[in-house]
Amino acid sequence: MDRRQFLQLTGCATMALVAQGRIVSAEPAKDTRREVAYYKKLDDGTVECLTCPKKCKVLNQGRGICGNKLNDDGFYYSLVYAKPCTTNIDPIEKKPLFHFLPGSQAYSLSTAGCNLGCSFCQNWQISQSKPEQLDSYNLTPKDIVEQAKKSEAKVIAFTYGEPIVFYEYMSDIASLARKSDIHSVMISNGYINPEPLTKLCKHLSAVKIDLKAFTEEFYRKYCNASLQPVLDTLLTLKKIGIWFEVVVLIIPTLNDSAKEIKAMCEWIKNNLGDSVPVHFSRFHPEYKLKNLPMTPVKTMEDSRQIACDAGLKFVYLGNIPSHSAESTYCPDCKKTIIKRTGYRIAENLVKAGKCPFCSALIPGYWNK
């Protein structure tokens, strides 16, 4: 699929919003730049971004690694505030969040940019583009919340690209949405500093973190990043007490060894607890990593077994349609309590956060 086809499919070219079965066109983008919330000025006119661990030092008229922030005479500005390049209505299961309001619809959006450079990115057309390379439209936080209301979505999801790089826009939307009884969730790579993360979580209801591997070598070679800041983010989320889930993309020969999977699962259990949902997602050749095959189903199933043997209670397999590991099972009585087929909920038996068969507590966010 080439860029033009992608833009046509995602709506970046036409930017139409779906609301109550109607197509609502947005106005063309205006200059809505907003000063970055976390940065400091250095003596020589350079600024240092403090939003994420990369702490980019940016010269005047330069940009950080994410490509969507500009140093303009010592003031650091977001170039994507109120400028989403795509929106859509998705099931919450697509994020994936399986223990957060199952069956809910999420008004989903993204701007251009990312602070990582993953060679296997599934949404590289958005994440690896600068704002001027994609069509975008003027949608203020108030506009987004109003569109979510019209669509009857119970959740606003910051997703597709990397929400951390449109931190100011995300924070303002989430704050306003909470006042309208609409939940906000961040679907993220977790590459964010503790202070902005802690402040942001005051407005969020849930977070999904991509844990891309469990070695520094992988993060350095394939993501242009480091593992430890992501682990620190997970520890911060645990400390804050916000609901979160973890996704691991299993890539053949790169992060699929039994030793690595076991070490990862043991770290999760020991540091985050045994009830954090962990989703193993099947790799599809994409972007710069097309030389590897799809992950064998057996590798996926073996990874899940390792996680279960390590003591994790809720382990799922993604990108394998109709697999039994899409569903949720009670860790005590082992009965199916949420039946899933793809992104569709076929049956949800969880009542007041409990298994209907044995009354075991099922951790999650179940009440709208």
Q: How far apart are CA 56 and CA 54, in angstroms?
A: 5
Q: 297 and 241, same structural domain?
A: yes
pLDDT (average), residues 86-103: 97
pLDDT value of residue 9: 38
For 323-339, write each residue's pLDDT tens digit: 999 999 999 999 999 99
Q: 207 and 121, same structural domain?
A: yes
Q: Looking at the 3D structure of the chain, how many domains does it have?
A: 3
Q: How far apart are CA 66 and CA 63, in angstroms?
A: 8
**Residue 88 DSSP class:** E
pLDDT class of 32 with cuts at 50, 70, 90: confident
pLDDT (average), residues 282-289: 96
For 37-50, write each residue's pLDDT tens digit: 999 999 899 999 99
* Tokens describing residue 49: 């971004």
| Residues above pLDDT 90, as percent of the chain | 90
Q: 90 and 217, same structural domain?
A: yes
pLDDT class of 258 with cuts at 50, 70, 90: very high
Q: 186 and 72, same structural domain?
A: no
The domain containing residue 272 runs over which residues?
Answer: 3-27+82-322
Q: 102 and 179, same structural domain?
A: yes
Rounded to the nearest 5 degrees, what angle is found at the Cα of 139, between the Cα atoms of 110 and 59?
Answer: 65
* 9 CB neighbour count, 10 Å cutoff: 12
pLDDT value of residue 161: 95
